[in-house]
Amino acid sequence: EIEKIIEVNEEVDNMVYAMEIALREKMKEMELKGKLEGKLEGKLEGKLEGKLEVAKNMLNAGMDMEQISIFTEISVKELQSLLQNLR
């Protein structure tokens, strides 16, 4: 009876240990994913800011929204909204 209890305890310990390892690996994976998402978001925001600056300059130079939309690859509707928020 005691041997069975010891065996069960060892199995439980092994299971707990395996779960701890799996949790640590998952946490590392999630941390890396978060860092990558943050970098990507930062790059996208920077790219959008650059495009908006160009759009603003183009607008100030007298170009119409359709042309600006073509060059910046941002829809006219989105351009209008974004540029209005800058003012």
User: pTM higher than 0.85 for the full model?
Assistant: no
For the stretch 16-28, pLDDT in tens is: 999 999 999 999 9
pLDDT category at 87 given cuts 50, 70, 90 is low
Q: At what angle are helices 76-86 and 65-72 packed, to 10 degrees?
A: 100
Query: Which residue has better confidence, 53 or 1?
Result: 53
For the stretch 38-62, pLDDT in tens is: 998 888 888 888 998 999 999 999 9
Name the H helices within 61-75: 65-72
Q: Write the burial class of residue 21 (CB in 10 Å: 0-12 exposed, 13-18 middle, 19+ buried).
A: exposed
Specify the amino acid at residue 39: K
